[in-house]
Structure 1
Amino acid sequence: MLERRVTDMVEYSVIIPAHNEEAWLPACLDSIERAAECARIKPEIVVVLNRCEDRTEDLARPRAVLVREEAPNLARIRNAGARASTGRTLITLDADSRMAPNLFIEVGRALESGRYVGGGVPVRAERVSPGIVATGILLLIPFLVRGLSGGLFWCGRPDFEAIGGFDERWLSGEDFDFAVRLKKHGRATARKFATLWRTHILTSCRKFDRWGDWFVWKILLRDPRGFVATYRGRNPALANRFWYAAERFRDSKAGADDQAVRNNSRIRS
């Protein structure tokens, strides 16, 4: 664990995993800066570069602290950003998402109340279709059953460190696992896991654009066990295809990235 002086710490650190995100990262950073202006704060932005071969690093350098973590593992990527950050409050945000202008304000209110250990926010899609709505409902079920939310996580650094951050054994579903453990930690310390309904994030539909609006349901119907295993972090092949293979959104990638994602099959048994 890094030792930090209080005077070295900022109030908020936003941690963004970034794998070839030149098309999405600028809008993400713009949204953080707008939200910071609304809250009259200066958050620290940490971009974790992961096997980038486009202009992501060049676009991020003037606007963020840069960290490099090459492992194809989102939990490990986010943890690397958290270790490098200096904020008292940690917020995780994906590069293809944008935060609402009032997000820092709502997070601040929740944490200052002392009643909440942390939590998530509602997720809105940049476009809507029957397939996307049906998928959203499907993926929300495990969260709603347990009174959880995801999309963007917020919590104090001491609580993040108390639960060990994201579990790096999970290649997928690490967000659900994190939420479960954060809520459990909150219960042990007499605080609640909260969904901040007055704010939200807007996320891209790039997976739907790439594979079709019903692709998640097709996977579920074709291989129910494999689908469930994916969201329990136990399906490396599917996790690699949808989260870690560079050719997710560019058909020309191969080589080193292919080897990296193949190695994932040995991370979690």
Structure 2
Amino acid sequence: MTATLTVIVPAHNEEAGLPATLEAIRRQTVPPDKVVVVDDGSTDRTGEVAAAYGATVLRPPHNLGSKAKAQNHALPACDTDLVLAVDADTVLAPDYIEKIKPAFDDPEVVVAAGNVQTRFTRTVWERGRSIEYLFGFHWNRPIQNGANSPVVCSGCCSAFRRAALTGFGGFPERTIVEDMDFTWSMQIAGRRAVYVGDAVAWAADPETLTYLRKQVWRWMAGFFQNVRLHLGGLVRRKPMLAVWIVLALAEIFTAPLWWATPFVLTLGMHRSVGTVLTFWLGPELLFTVPPLLYAARRRRLPVLGVMANVPFVYLTKAVNIYYAWKALIVELVLVPLRLSRGLVIYEKGRA
């Protein structure tokens, strides 16, 4: 029997981006059984746009304050086997549902997500993010999936087994990143999360530094909230996933040394600029370029265009490491000492 599926789209002031999202859902080769849009305290025409596309529109009495809360508001309206959560600025490939559904033929799979790429590469920040996604979703995610330990099923396009989701209490609200929280919780409980590389979605990523900072701060704070909450359980119940987390922590701890290297070599050891760049960037490029070439081929992207975006990834990396260290201090030091509540207010970024 074919599993039934409801799409949930949480939306706050998304009248501009929502039509592309809903049009992509409408054009699915395997259409959903129901589409529910949560008009979460919008002051624009979000609800009217959603209704025009035939979606069931739910309007909470006030803005709920986070994506997880908006999604949970929609759960009682879902009576299907599966729930697919899609961000209001994310566009699914026409065969996304067709590709993601078979993952649930395995009864142990409770959450699955596809390959997320950037919709636009207009600004330096979008270009940097495009490289992060091309590398991450064609190198890191397949390796993690092969080891049966995905680090996160991306919240912008994750499908859930509804019984497992409701049995857990819905989308977790205790951390600022519900997707990572649920992915880790389910694996600790012995259930499976999977990455489906052939299911592709395109997300609208930060086009400004202001938006990027808010998004990365939320992501990094949420990561360390989950480290604080789950690391012990991961070590005991899901050691392979714990390995990926420890490697991520090691990268964060050593990143300042990597960024300091060119200054030490140039100012302290009086090396030439050419020597410094070769020593500093050479090994990294040898590691990153082959996966990017493979990703460009898989995504049918012009290789020169992809390579031209590589320098911009170092701008986004600089933002990432700043907020990673800020989140580490706040969530792993100040919160346990009761000197901070940590990040509890969900800010998407564009607003």
Q: TM-score, normalised by structure 1?
A: 0.71
Counterpart for residue 322 of structure 2: 221
Counterpart for residue 147 of structure 1: 150
Cα shift at 1:164:
1.7
Cα shift at 1:101:
1.1
Q: 1:24 aligns with which of 17, 25, 30?
A: 17
Q: Does residue 176 of structure 1 match 2:144? A: no
Q: Distance in 2 between matches of 1:64 and 1:121?
A: 23
Q: Distance in 2 between matches of 1:230 and 1:26?
A: 37
Any conservation in 2 of the 1:18–1:95 contact (CA below 8 Å)? yes
Any conservation in 2 of the 1:14–1:92 contact (CA below 8 Å)? yes
Q: Distance in 2 between matches of 1:152 and 1:230?
A: 27
Q: 2:111 aligns with which of 112, 118, 121?
A: 118
Q: Distance in 2 between matches of 1:227 and 1:138?
A: 24
Cα shift at 1:71:
1.3
Q: Distance in 2 between matches of 1:76 and 1:130?
A: 31
What SS does the corresponding residue of 2:72 show, helix, strand or coil?
A: helix
Counterpart for residue 200 of structure 1: 200
Cα shift at 1:76:
0.9
Q: Distance in 1 between matches of 2:19 and 2:103?
A: 28
Which amino acid in 2 is paired with 1:104?
I
Counterpart for residue 289 of structure 2: none
Aligned residues: 225
Structure 1 stretches lacking a partner, 5+ long: 1-9, 251-269
Cα shift at 1:104:
1.4
Name the larger-Rg structure.
Answer: 2
Any conservation in 1 of the 2:7–2:32 contact (CA below 8 Å)? no
Structure 2 stretches lacking a partner, 5+ long: 213-311, 336-340
Q: 1:91 to 1:228 in 2, by over 3 A?
A: farther
Q: TM-score, normalised by structure 2?
A: 0.56
What SS does the corresponding residue of 1:21 show, helix, strand or coil?
A: coil
Which amino acid in 2 is paired with 1:169?
R
Q: 1:210 to 1:95 in 2, by over 3 A?
A: farther
Q: Does residue 34 of structure 1 match 2:27? A: yes
What are the Cα deviations for residues 54-95 of structure 1, in whole angstroms up to 9, with x where unaligned?
Answer: 110111113211112321122111111122222221010000
Q: 1:52 to 1:196 in 2, by over 3 A?
A: same
Q: Distance in 1 between matches of 2:23 and 2:185?
A: 31
**Which structure dedicates a bigger proportion of its chain to helix?**
2
Any conservation in 2 of the 1:117–1:183 contact (CA below 8 Å)? no
What CA RMSD, in Å, does the superposition of the two structures yield over aligned residues? Answer: 3.3
What SS does the corresponding residue of 1:57 show, helix, strand or coil?
A: helix
Q: Does residue 104 of structure 1 match 2:92? A: no
Q: Distance in 1 between matches of 2:193 and 2:324?
A: 32
Any conservation in 2 of the 1:219–1:227 contact (CA below 8 Å)? no
Any conservation in 2 of the 1:100–1:201 contact (CA below 8 Å)? yes
Counterpart for residue 265 of structure 1: none
Which amino acid in 2 is paired with 1:43?
D
Q: Distance in 2 between matches of 1:57 and 1:184?
A: 38
Cα shift at 1:106:
1.6
Q: 2:41 aligns with which of 29, 48, 51?
A: 51
Cα shift at 1:136:
4.5
Any conservation in 2 of the 1:166–1:174 contact (CA below 8 Å)? yes
Q: Distance in 2 between matches of 1:175 and 1:249?
A: 20
- Aligned-residue identity in percent: 20
What are the Cα deviations for residues 151-191 of structure 1, in whole angstroms up to 9, with x where unaligned?
Answer: 32112211111222222222x22211011123334x25xxx
Q: Distance in 2 between matches of 1:50 and 1:42?
A: 22
Any conservation in 2 of the 1:118–1:194 contact (CA below 8 Å)? yes
What SS does the corresponding residue of 1:30 show, helix, strand or coil?
A: helix
Q: Distance in 2 between matches of 1:230 and 1:100?
A: 36
